[in-house]
Amino acid sequence: MSSALHPIERKILSALAPLGSAPFEALVAAASLNEDQVRRALQWLASKRLVSVGGSVESRLELVREPPELELVSQVSQATAPLTIGQLRGKFGSPEEFSAAFGRARSSGWIAVEGGAAQVVRMVEIAGAESLRSLVRSIASGKTEGSMTSEEMDTVSDLLKRGIVRRVETRTTTVAITDEGRRSSLLAADEGLIDRLTPDILASGAWKGRRLRSIDVEAKAPRFFPGRRHPVRDFIREVREVYVSMGFTELQGDSVHPAFWNFDALFIPQDHPGREMQDTFYLEGLSDTALKRSGVVARVASVHEDGWTTGSRGWGYRWRVEEARRLVLRTHNTVLSVKALSESKEKETRVFAVSKVYRNENLDYKHLAEFYQMDGIMVGQGLNIRHLMGFLTEFYKKLGMADVKLWPTYFPYTEPSLQVVGYSKAFKSWIELGGSGVFRPEVTQPLGVSVPVLAWGPGIERLMLMRFGLEDMRTLYGSDLSWLRNRGELAGS
């Protein structure tokens, strides 16, 4: 048990120690504290088993008033001449009181009524009255029920019924110090200890050679909520560091783009189901009217229609500039990479972006309308799918996913296309983490790029769910303060 005591607890122990045990009131007086302080501190002391608190209830009798029949007997016996009933009644405050007294005295056989027309009251037997009188006196002077004869008890119960005597109960609390309390009090009495270090004590050097008094180091401290960054931000930071460590330069860009850059430049045909409003957010009433079928736009248009000079068949439909002008919230960040490609004529480059993409979805545990993707591209002579596989394996390893596989898949803008799947221990299955591939010539050549471009665009949320052991993506963006404040920083990692 900790010996750490509050100053009030110490005061009480040192007051109690010489007494051994004491009634509560006596202890309050001895400790020179107020009752509330003592009561609170006793709870703590008792819980630490330094004192034991006991209680007892005592009852005693209290005389409320003289029995009126004794008054009547006194009047009769002290009168110089016999009194008539009328005279006797006159000596009482009320006729009711007189009747009760008279009735009792006569039925007890103490008095009798004599005479003809003028009836007088005479004393018959004084001893019974005197024994009642002495009992009443002894009650008034504190005689307890325990010391009474059974006859007296009968009389008392009659007096109790009549309200002439009442029973009063008193409750007393007794506090006793335990052996452990005695030891603590000896410690507490050590006046050399410092309660609390103060600037004065430090300045005066009064601390020298003295100890600080022990405190209760097991007690609960008040709870508070420190500020903290969002877990998604921390995860993005981690991804950014992995990218930069692998020689990538970070891109940043707008969320709103003409459909041209989001879709057409990626060789996604204009009637592709993914371009429909059910899947894509188009901005109401807004379009990029400056977009004209010339330059890169014209080349892309031709690629769609007949393959342009790329050697492709193209999609074989009539391309419309109006469709390409519509403004969309980017559905993938590859749009940033493609724009960067079209602007930079570097023969060798690595760029990435971790930012939001938008899909017209109903939200559920695995679908969000806004989520993050960590897209990147690697451009360079001689790059091939083995390099893509090598990069992805290394990248995921750095993000803590050592167990990944690459499976073939399909995207309109890459050939070959690979998807990364990672093994989820929670789901006991392979979970799709993201797509990748080598940009098709139909994508690169209209942009004036003639070297291979490896591209990928995985999401971050599934990885985060795996790391945090969560099952619902909405948790990440649910703004639940309780989760944000209390989640373990390293949970699941």
Partner 1 sequence: MPVVRLELSRLTEMIGASRKEILDRLPYIGLDIESADSRSVRIEYSPNRPDLGTDYGIARALRGLLGTETGLPEFQTEPTGITVTVDRRLSKVRPYIACCVATGLDLDDEDVRQIISLQEDLHNGLGRKRRTVAIGLHDLDRISPPISYRAVPSTFEFTPLGRKTASSIRSTLSDTYEGKAYGHIFGSSKVFPVIVDSKETVLSFPPIINGDATRVTTRTRRMFVDVTSTSQKAGDDVLAIMATTLSEAGGRLRTVAVRYPNKVRVTPDLTPAELHFDFDLVKSVIGLDLSRKEMLACLARSRMEVKGNRALGPRYRIDLLHPVDVAEEVALGYGIDRIKPVYPPSKAPGAFNHFEDFLESVSTVMAGAGMIEMMTYELTDRKSLYDSFERPSSEMVAVQNPKSLDHSMLRDALIPSLLAALSGNVKSDYPQRVFEIGRVYTRAHDDVKESWHLGCLIAHSQASYTEAKMYLDAACRLVAGLDVVTEAAEHWAFSPGRCASVTMKEEGLGNIGELTPGAIDAFGIGVPVSGLEIDLSKLYELLK
Site for partner 1 in 199-258 (CB under 8 A): 223, 225-230, 232-233, 237, 240, 243-252, 254-256
3-class SS of residue 415: strand
Q: Is 273 in the site for partner 1 (CB under 8 A)?
A: yes
Burial class from Cβ neighbours inside 10 Å (0-12, 13-18, 19+) for residue 13 reads buried
Alpha-carbon distance 19 to 17, whole Å?
5
**Residue selected from 52, 108, 178, 287 as contacting partner 1 according to rule CB under 8 A:** 287
Give the footprint of partner 1 on residues 463-492 (CB under 8 A).
476-482, 484-485
Alpha-carbon distance 229 to 236, whole Å?
11
**Residue selected from 210, 347, 356, 366 as contacting partner 1 according to rule CB under 8 A:** 356
Q: Is 370 in the site for partner 1 (CB under 8 A)?
A: yes
Angle at 190 between CA 189 and CA 195, to 5 degrees: 100
414-439 in b/e burial notation, b at 16+ Cβ within 10 A?
bbebbbbbbebeeeeeebebbbbbbb
Give the footprint of partner 1 on residues 310-329 (CB under 8 A).
310-314, 316-317, 327, 329
- Please identify, using beta-carbon distances, which residue of 195 and 254 lies nearer to partner 1: 254
Contact 433, 459 (CB under 8 A): yes
Q: Is 365 in the site for partner 1 (CB under 8 A)?
A: no
Q: How far is the CB of 255 from partner 1 (least distance, A)?
A: 6
At position 13, the amino acid (one-letter code) is L
**Which of the stretches 67-75, 87-95, 381-389, 462-470 binds partner 1 when contact is defined by CB under 8 A?**
381-389
**Residue selected from 196, 208, 386, 425 as contacting partner 1 according to rule CB under 8 A:** 386
Of 349, 330, 311, 316, which Cα lies nearest the Cα of 265?
A: 330
At position 94, the amino acid (one-letter code) is S
Neighbours of 289 (CB within 10 A): 9
Alpha-carbon distance 91 to 98, whole Å?
9
Q: How far is the CB of 218 from partner 1 (least distance, A)?
A: 24
Alpha-carbon distance 377 to 387, whole Å?
12
Q: How far is the CB of 248 from partner 1 (least distance, A)?
A: 5
Q: Is 350 in the site for partner 1 (CB under 8 A)?
A: yes
**Which of the stretches 44-52, 73-81, 153-161, 416-424 binds partner 1 when contact is defined by CB under 8 A?**
416-424
Burial class from Cβ neighbours inside 10 Å (0-12, 13-18, 19+) for residue 199 reads exposed
- Please identify, using beta-carbon distances, which residue of 202 and 410 lies nearer to partner 1: 410
Size of the site for partner 1 (CB under 8 A): 98
Residue with tokens 């059974």: 150
**Residue selected from 282, 293, 323, 487 as contacting partner 1 according to rule CB under 8 A:** 282
Give the footprint of partner 1 on residues 446-465 (CB under 8 A).
452
- Please identify, using beta-carbon distances, which residue of 126 and 246 lies nearer to partner 1: 246
Alpha-carbon distance 131 to 329, whole Å?
109
Q: How far is the CB of 437 from partner 1 (least distance, A)?
A: 9
For the window 109-138, what string marks contact with partner 1 as x by the rule CB under 8 A? ------------------------------
Tokens found for residue 410:
């399909």
**Which of the stretches 9-17, 76-84, 283-291, 294-302 binds partner 1 when contact is defined by CB under 8 A?**
283-291
Q: Is 339 in the site for partner 1 (CB under 8 A)?
A: no
Alpha-carbon distance 300 to 267, whole Å?
8
Of 170, 153, 143, 140, which Cα lies nearest the Cα of 65?
A: 140
- Please identify, using beta-carbon distances, which residue of 44 and 423 lies nearer to partner 1: 423
Alpha-carbon distance 261 to 147, whole Å?
109
Give the footprint of partner 1 on residues 30-59 (CB under 8 A).
none
Q: Is 63 in the site for partner 1 (CB under 8 A)?
A: no
